[in-house]
Amino acid sequence: MSTAVTEIPQDSRVHYLNVSYGVKSWLLTVDHKRIALLYLGSITFMFLVGGVAAVLMRIHLIEPAGALVQPETYNKLFSAHGIIMVFFFLVPSIPATLGNFLVPLMVGAKDLAFPKLNLLSWYIYVVGALFTLYAVISGGVDTGWTFYTPYSSTYSHSAVIPVAIGVFITGFSSILTGLNFIVTIHKMRAPGLTWFRLPLFIWSIYATSVIFILGTPVLAITIFLLGVERLFHVGIFDPAVGGDPLLFQHLFWFYSHPAVYIMILPGMGVVSELIAAFSRKRIYGYTMVAYSSFAIAIISFLVWGHHMFVTGQSIYAGLIFSVLSFLVAIPSAIKVFNWTATLYKGSISYEAPMLYALGFIGLFTMGGLTGLFLASLATDVHLSGTYFIVAHFHYIMVGGAVMAYMGGLHYWWPKITGRMYPDMWARVAAVIIFVGFNLTFFPQFMLGYLGMPRRYAVYPPEFQVFNVMSSAGASILGIGYLIPLVYFIWSMRYGPIAPANPWGAKGLEWTVPSPPPTDNFEETPIVTEEAYNYAPIPEGQHG
Amino acid sequence: MNAATHLFTSNLLAAASLPIHPPTASTIGQGVDYLYFFLTGITLFFTILIFSIIFYFMIKYHRRSEDEAPGFVGTSMTLEITWTLVPLAICAVLFVWASSLYFENSRPPNASMELFVVGKQWMWHIQHPEGPREIDELHVPVGVPVKLTMTSEDVIHDFSIPAFRIKKDVLPGRYSSIWFQATKTGIYHFYCAQYCGTDHARMIGWVYVMTAEDYAGWLSGGVRGESMAQSGERLFTQLGCITCHVADNNGRCPTLVGVFNHPVKLKDGRTVVADDAYLRNAIVNPNSMPLPNYAPLMPSFQGQINEEQLLQLIAYIKSLGPEERKSAGK
Amino acid sequence: MADLVAHGSGHDAAHDPAATHSHSPDLKHQFDNMTQQFEAGNLGMWVFLATEVLFFGGLFASYTVYRSLYLPGFEIGSHLLDVRFGATNTAVLICSSLTMALAIRAAQTGQRKAQVILLVLTMLLGAAFLGIKFTFEWRNDYLEHLVPGVDFLYRPEWGGNGPHVQLFFIFYFIMTSIHALHMIIGIGLLSVLTWMAARGRFSPDYYTPLEVSGLYWHFVDIVWIFLFPLLYLIGGRYGIGGGH
C-alpha cells in the first residue's frame, strides 16, 4: 500500500456518524443512513453464512460420490444456501443498504417518509434472520429454497416451520421498505425535481418497490398455508384429500419470479449511475431506460409459469408464459444497448466501480441470453431441472446483481464513510471476481446441457471434470470476495479522507459533504437541471 | 501417486473425451439440438458484439485528462427502435420455432407402445403391459414410439432422459405422460430431475434401447409372470369389485365393459371421458363425481392399493372390450 | 458543480394555507409542511392496503381454484354455516364503518367529545363482531366437529365428498381467522386513537392518524363484504340444496 499506516487525523466536522456514539444511538436511530449501515452489517453477515454453505457444497462436489458430507447434509446445505442468499442477502441487498442511504439524498429530502417504520423494517429483518439461523443450527431444512409440496408439507423431517416463520417475518421488512420508498419518491422530491429529472437509480428502486408491495404478500400467504398444512395435517396441497400440489407452485412462483427482478432491477439502477459517472456522460436513451424499469416490473408478474413448463400444466398455458417470458427480455436488452451507447464519445476511466459496471453488462448479457434457452419451450424441457438453470440464474444474480452491488458499494463508499479505499486492490479484486465467477459457472452450462440434474449430492463420473473446474473457480471467487472485506474495514480507520465529490460526478448526493450531516441538506435544494447534466442539453434536443 | 490421485486421474481419463454434447438418441433430439445450436449462436453473437463494442469504446474514449468534458450526444429514436425491434424479431422467431417443436413433441403417435412408470422415494418401478417389471431400468425397442404413463406414490418426482431430450414431472394423485421414439440402440441415463428428498441423486437408472428381436427376447425371457391385465383381474376379484361390477349391468353398479375412453354422463349434467385419470379417481375417490341412477355406495380403496396395483386394475378394465369379458390379458 | 442546484428557502410555506405557523408541533422533521405530511401518510396507508389486497388475494385465488373444482362439496359446506350470524356480522361491520367515518368527521369539525364516543362505538361494534364469531359461530362449529385438523367429522347424510367439504372448512377457518386477526389489530389501533382523541390530540389541522386508521378499518370491512357471500351464500339458500 502506498499510504503510510498511521492514523489520519479525524475530520472535526459533525456528520451522521459522529453526531452521537454508543450502541443505543445506533439501535434506536431513525436516520436512514445509519439504518442503511445496520442493514449493511447484517446482510454481509448473512452473505458470509450463505457463502460458507456454497464453499462446502463445491468442495463436496469435487468427487462424484461426494467428498465431504452425507446426502442429507448436502441437501440441507443447498437449501440453506438458497434460502439465505435469496431472502436474506439478494432481495434486501441494494434496496436496504444503498437504497436506504441514497433515496432521500437523491431526491433532496432530509429522510425517508417514515423513519421509524424504516428502523422497524430492520428489526423485522433481524428477527426473521434469527429464526432462520436457529433453524439452520438446529438441524437445517432440506426442502430447497422452493419448498415444493407435498415434500415440504408432509414428507420432510426437517425444520420447515422455523424457516417458514423466518422467511414470513422477513417478508414484512421488504414490504415496509418498498412502502417507504414509494411514498418518499412520490411525495418528497425537492422542488424542480420532476420525474424525468430523477436519477435512474431512483427509477429502478421505485420499480423494485412496486414489486415488493405487490409480490411479497403472496409469498407470505403461501408460506402461511404451507405452515398450516404442515402443522395441522390438513390437505390444502395434498392430493389424497383433493388438494393440488401444483397450486403451491403457482402461488410460490407468483412471488418468486418477480422476486428475481427485485434482485436485478436495483443493480441495473446502480449500473446506470456508474456508467454515467465514469464516462462523464448522460445515460443514452434516459427515457427508454426509465420506462424499461417499469416494463420489467409489470411484465415480471405475468411470466411465473415458465418455472413450470414440465409440471404438466396445459400446453396453452405454456405458450402464453413463453411469449411473455420472451417479452420481458426486451426491456433488459434495451438497457444493455443504451449503457453501451453511453460509452460512445465519453470520457471513460477505470476505477473499480466502473470495472464492476462493465463486468455486469457482460455477464448480465450472457445470463440474460441464456434465459432465452429457457423461455423456448422445446429447449426448456431438456434443460429444466439441470445445472443449466443453476448457471443461468447465477450469471444474473452473482455476475449481475452482486457485481452491481459491489460496484455501488465502491462508488458510494466515500460518501457513506468519508474514506477512500485503495483503488489498486479494488481493481485487482474486481478482476479476480470476474475470472473466478466465469470459471465457477460457465462449466455448469455444459453440465446442464449434458443432462446433470441440479440438487444432486452425488453424480455419474463423466460429469466430474466440469464439476472440478467449477469448484476450482469457486475458490478463486471466494478469495475475490474476501479482499474487499479486508480493505473496506481497513479504510474505515486508515483510508484517506474523501472529499464531497471524489469522482466528479453529477447527482444531489455529491453536493453534500462526505459523510453527510444527519439532515442531509442545510437547505432543501432546488433542482434546475436534468439528471447527469455533464454536458448541457441543447435546445430542442432530448437526452 | 497415492490412491486418491490415482483414482482421480483414472476418472479424469475415463471422462477425458470431455463430453460437451450428450448422445442424441431420439427422433425429436435432432430438432431440439438445432434449436439449441441456434440459441447458442445468438448468445455468442450478441455476447461478442457487446463485449467488442465495449472494449473498443473503452480504449478509444478512455479519459486522457482530468478536466476532459465530453460533448452532448443526443438519443437517436431510430437506434432505439432498431434495437427494440431486432431483439423482438429474434424472439418471435424463437418462440414460433420452439413452440411448434414443443407441440409436436407432446403428442404421442397413435400406435405408441405404452409403459407405466411409478416413482417413489427413491426408485422407479416400471411395468410393461405384458407383465415384466423393472426397477431403475427401462428396456425399450428401437424405432418404436413409446408412451410412458407416470405417477408418484409420494412426492413430486421428474422422469428425465437427457439423451432423448425429454422430461416430465411425475405427480402424486395424477397421471402425466411423455413419449419418445429411440433411434439408436445403446444404454442411456435416466434421472429424477425434481428434488424429492434425501436420495434424490440416487434415483437414477438406465434405458436399454434394444433391437426389436432383442426386445422380444427380453420380454419373453426370465420368469414368465402375469400380464398387467391379468394382475388387474386378480385384484379385481381379491378386492371384491367383482361382486358389484358384473358384466350384465344388474343395476347396483355400472358395468365396466367397454367403459374405457368412452363418455360418461355425470349427475351434475357434465359429460367426461373415462380415461386413466377418471378410472383412478373412481377407485380412490368414488363419490367425487356421482353418477345419475346410482347411489353413492362404492367404498374408497385409497390406502388399500398402491399406484402400481391401480395401473394393473386400469389395464384390466381397459381389456374389457365391448365384446364378452376376456379372462386372459394380452 | 455550483450551478447544479439553486439554494432556496427551507420550508415551502407559501403553498400551504393550513401551515400559517410553519413549525406546527405535529410536523415531523422529515417533512416540509403539514400537507406533505398528511399526503404522505395517506399514500402510505393506501400502499399498505395494496399489500393487504394481494395478501388476501392469494387466499381468495386458492379458494376460487378449489371452489370451481369442487362446487358441490363447497355448497354443502356453505349450507352448514349459519347465515343469520354471518348476515348480522355484516350489518355490524357496516355500522362500524359508519361510526368510524363519523368519528373522522367529528375531528374535522373539532368536536372532541363526539370523536371519542364514535371511536368507542366503533370498537364496541368490532368487538361485537368478534364476539358473535367466536362465541356463537366457532363454538358451534367446534361442538359439531366441523374444525379440520382438530376433529373434523364427515357425516354421510350431507352427501357429496368428505374431503371436499373439509377443504371448504379449511378455507372458511383460515380466511375468517386472518380477517379476525386484522379486526383485533384494528381494535387495538382504535383504542390507541381513542386515548389520543380523549386527550385532544386531534384537530382540524391534524387528524392524520384517524384518517389513516379509518382507511384500514374500511378495508377490513370490505374484505368481510367479500367473505360473506363467498363463504355463506354458495349455491343460494332457496332452491338448490334447500334452505337452512
Query: Are the C-beta atoms of residues C52 and C219 closer than 8 Å to each other?
Result: yes
A66-A70-A71 Cα angle (round to 5): 80
Burial classification of residue A6, based on how many CB atoms lie within 10 Å of its CB (0-12 exposed, 13-18 middle, 19 or more buried): exposed
Closest Cα partner for C141 from C7, C232, C45, C202? C232
Closest chain C CA to residue B288 = C161
**Predicted pLDDT of residue A318:** 96
Please check whether residue B192 is in contact with residue B157, taking contact to mean a CB–CB distance below 8 angstroms.
yes
pLDDT at B327 over 60: no
Span B5-61, pLDDT tens digits: 655 655 555 555 577 889 999 999 999 999 999 999 999 999 999 999 999 999 999
Q: Which residues are paired to B272 by β-bridges?
A: B264
| Whether A213 and C58 lie within 8 Å, measured CB to CB | no
Query: For residue C11, what pLDDT band results from cuts at 50, 70 and 90?
Result: very low
Q: Which amino acid makes up residue A401? A: A
pLDDT tens per residue, range A412-455? 999 999 999 999 999 999 999 999 999 999 999 999 999 999 99
In the sheet that holds B176-181, the strands lie side by side as: B133-135, B123-127, B113-120, B145-152, B176-181
* Averaged pLDDT, C45-50: 96
> Is B287 within 8 Å of C160 when comparing Cβ atoms?
yes
CA angle C225, C226, C231 (to 5 degrees): 105
Which chain C residue lies closest to A241 (C-alpha atoms)?
Answer: C163
Report CA C18 to chain centroid distance, whole Å.
31
Closest Cβ–Cβ partner in A109, A114, A242 for C164: A242
Number of Cβ atoms within 10 Å of the Cβ of C140? 13
Q: Give the phi and the psi of residue B151 in degrees, each rounded to 5.
A: -150, 170
DSSP bridge partners of A348: B62
The residue behind cell 386372459 is B328
Cell of A283: 445515460
**Percentage of residues in chain C with pLDDT exceeding 70?**
87
A82 half-sphere exposure, CB direction, 13 A CA radius: 21
Mean pLDDT over the full length of chain C: 87
Which candidate in A310, A427, A445, A455 is best for mutational testing of the B interface (most B CBs within 10 A)? Answer: A310
SS3 A385: coil
pLDDT at C13 over 50: no
pLDDT, one tens digit per residue, over B220-253 is 876 667 899 999 999 999 998 888 887 666 667 8
In the block, cell 463430453 appears at B19
Q: In the predicted model, what is the mean pLDDT of residues B76-97?
A: 96
The whole-number pLDDT of residue B14 equals 52
| CA–CA separation, A382 and B26 (whole Å) | 13
In order of their start, the domains of chain A are 25-510 (1.20.210.10)
* Domains along the sequence of chain C with CATH: 45-233 (1.20.120.80)
Nearest by CB to A541, which of B74, B167, B198? B74
DSSP B56-114: HHHHHTB--STT------PPPHHHHHHHHHHHHHHHHHHHHHHHHHHHHHTS--TT-EE
Residues of A in contact with C48 (CB under 8 A): 175, 179
Query: Are the beta carbons of C8 and A225 separated by less than 8 Å?
Result: no
Would you tell me how many other CB atoms lie within 10 Å of the CB of residue A22?
8
C14 Cβ partners below 8 Å, 6+ apart? none
Q: Which amino acid is at C150?
A: V
B216 part of contact set with chain A, CB < 8 Å: no
Q: With CB atoms and an 8 Å threshold, state whether A310 touches B20.
A: no
Q: What is the mean pLDDT of chain B?
A: 88
b vs e for B169-191, b when ≥16 Cβ sit within 10 Å of the residue's Cβ? bbbbbbbbbbbbbbbebeebbbb
ω into residue A150 within 30 of 0, thus cis? Answer: yes
Q: What residue in B sits closest to C164 (Cα-Cα)? A: B288
Beta carbons within 10 angstroms of residue C65's beta carbon:
15
Work out the minimum CA distance from C104 to partner chain A, whole angstroms: 23
Q: Contact C30/A113 with Cβ under 8 angstroms? A: yes
Task: Give chains near C: 3+ CB pairs under 8 A.
Answer: A, B
Do C81 and C231 meet the contact criterion of CB atoms below 8 Å apart?
A: yes
Q: Radius of gyration of chain B from Cα atoms?
A: 28
- Those residues of chain A that have pLDDT short of 50 are 1-3, 7-8
Predicted confidence at residue A478, as pLDDT, reads 95
Residue type for position A352: A
pLDDT of res. B300: 84
Residue A61 has, within 13 A of its CA and on its CB side, a CA count of 35
Nearest-angstrom CA–CA distance, A268 and A205: 10
Question: What is the predicted pLDDT for the residue at C150?
Answer: 85
Q: Give the B window 42-61 contacts with C, CB below 8 Å.
A: none
Beta-carbon contacts of B22 under 8 Å, excluding residues fewer than 6 positions away, are: A449, A450, A451, B162, B163
pLDDT, position C161: 81
Q: Which of A525, A467, A531 is nearest to A108 (CA)?
A: A525
Gyration radius from chain A CA atoms: 23
How many whole angstroms separate alpha carbon B94 and alpha carbon A376?
7
Q: What is the pLDDT of residue B9?
A: 59
Share of chain B above pLDDT 70, in %: 89
Nearest Cα to C63, choosing from C133, C212, C164, C213? Answer: C164
Distances (CA, A) of B158 to A154, B16, B177, C177: 18, 29, 11, 37
What residues of C are in contact with residue B67 (Cβ under 8 Å)?
Answer: none
The whole-number average pLDDT for the span C78-84 is: 92
**CA-based nearest residue to A202, from A222, A217, A188:** A188
| Cell numbers for A66 | 461426494
pLDDT band of residue C12 (cuts 50, 70, 90) is: very low
Please state, as a whole number, how many other Cβ atoms lie within 10 Å of the Cβ of residue B92: 12
User: What are the cell numbers at B239?
Assistant: 378386492
* Contacting residues for C84 by C-beta, under 8 A, at least 6 apart: none
Q: In this structure, are residues B300 and B285 in contact, taking their beta carbons and an 8 Å threshold?
A: yes
Q: Is B183 helix (H, G, I), strand (E, B) or coil?
A: coil
Cβ count near C209 (within 10 Å): 17
pTM: 0.92
Burial profile C164-189: b = 16 or more Cβ within 10 angstroms, e = fewer: bbbbbbbbbbbbbebbbebbeebbeb
